[in-house]
Amino acid sequence: MKHYIVEITYTATPETIAASVGEHRAFLQTGYDCGWLLLSGPRVPRTGGMIVARAPSLRELQDFFGNDPYQIKGLAEYRFTEFEPVKFQPFLMDWIG
């Protein structure tokens, strides 16, 4: 698996984002359920979000996020940065693999 930071930047008003946040979080849960997402949350200030993810390839991760309600509704832009974890807490060993 390859590891990524996914940076989401909102392109819509805070009110529009708020109306879709429940759908977005339900979508993210599918990523947690399949083991692709480690953590996620809004940036401070709330201009987007950050996600630590893993996937077999960048294309597969981009395809996955193509189903995010924020993406489908045109509410946000996504930036994917691959990185190679070399140091991490021991409890993450299974996830880093």
Type of residue numbered 11: T
Give the separation between CA 49 and CA 31, rounded to whole angstroms: 15
- Model confidence, pTM: 0.95
Higher-pLDDT residue of 91 and 97 is: 91
Number of other CB atoms surrounding residue 61 within 10 Å: 23
Q: Cβ-count burial of 38 within 10 angstroms (0-12 exposed, 13-18 middle, 19+ buried)?
A: middle
Asked if pLDDT for residue 68 goes beyond 90, the answer is yes
pLDDT at 94: 93
Q: For 35, left (φ over 0), alpha (ψ -120 to 50), or beta? A: left
DSSP state, 13?
A: -
pLDDT at 48: 98
Asked if pLDDT for residue 97 goes beyond 90, the answer is no
**14-34: pLDDT as tens digits:** 999 999 999 999 999 999 999
